[in-house]
Amino acid sequence: MSCTPCVYLVGAGPGDPELLTVKAQRLLQEADVVVYDRLVSPEVLAIVSQGVARICVGKGPGNHSANQQEINRLLVTLARHGRHVVRLKGGDPFVFGRGSEEARHLVRHGIAFEVVPGVTAATACAAYAGIPLTHRGLATGVHFVTGHRHNNEPLDIAWNKLADPQSTIVVYMGLANVDEICTALIAAGLPGTTPAAAIENGTTAAQRRCITMLAELPASVTAQHFAPPVLFVIGKVVALARELDWFSMAEVVGLRADVRRGL
pTM > 0.85: yes or no: yes
Under 8 Å between Cβ of 119 and 19: yes
Q: Please pick, among 23, 32, 59, 236, the residue that the annotation labels catalytic.
A: 59
Tens digit of pLDDT at every position of the chain (263 positions): 445 789 999 999 999 999 999 999 999 999 999 999 998 999 999 999 999 999 999 866 555 568 999 999 999 999 999 889 999 999 999 999 999 999 999 999 999 999 999 999 999 999 999 999 999 999 999 999 999 887 778 898 999 999 999 999 999 999 999 999 999 999 999 999 999 999 999 999 999 999 999 999 999 999 999 999 999 999 999 999 999 999 988 765 455 545 444 44
Under 8 Å between Cβ of 159 and 130: no
Under 8 Å between Cβ of 188 and 163: yes
* Domain 6-119 annotated CATH 3.40.1010.10: yes
Pairing assessment for the beta strands 33-36 and 84-89 based on DSSP bridges: parallel
Under 8 Å between Cβ of 32 and 52: yes
- The set of residues, in sequence order, having a beta carbon less than 8 Å from that of 147 and lying 6+ positions away, is 155, 171, 172, 173, 174, 175, 176, 177, 178, 181, 232
Check if 37 is active-site: yes
Check if 59 is active-site: yes
Among candidate residues 78, 83, 13, the one with its CA nearest the CA of residue 47: 13
- The strands making up 6-11's β-sheet, listed across from edge to edge, are 53-56, 33-36, 84-89, 6-11, 112-116
What is the model's pLDDT at position 186? Answer: 98
Residue 69 CB coordination number (10 Å): 10
Give how far the C-alpha of residue 165 lies from the chain's centroid of Cα atoms, to the nearest Å: 24
- The set of residues, in sequence order, having a beta carbon less than 8 Å from that of 17 and lying 6+ positions away, is 41, 43, 44, 46, 47, 262, 263
CA dihedral over 94, 99, 46, 170, signed as positive or negative: negative
Report phi then psi at 241, rounded to 5. Answer: -60, -40
What is the residue extent of each domain of the chain?
6-119, 122-247
122-247 CATH, one of 3.40.50.410, 3.90.1570.10, 3.30.950.10, 3.40.640.10: 3.30.950.10
Q: Please pick, among 16, 37, 92, 245, the residue that the annotation labels catalytic.
A: 37
**C-alpha–C-alpha distance, residues 262 and 43, integer Å:** 7
Common-topology check for domains 6-119 and 122-247: no
**C-alpha–C-alpha distance, residues 62 and 2, integer Å:** 38
Helix crossing, 99-108 with 68-80: angle to 10°?
50
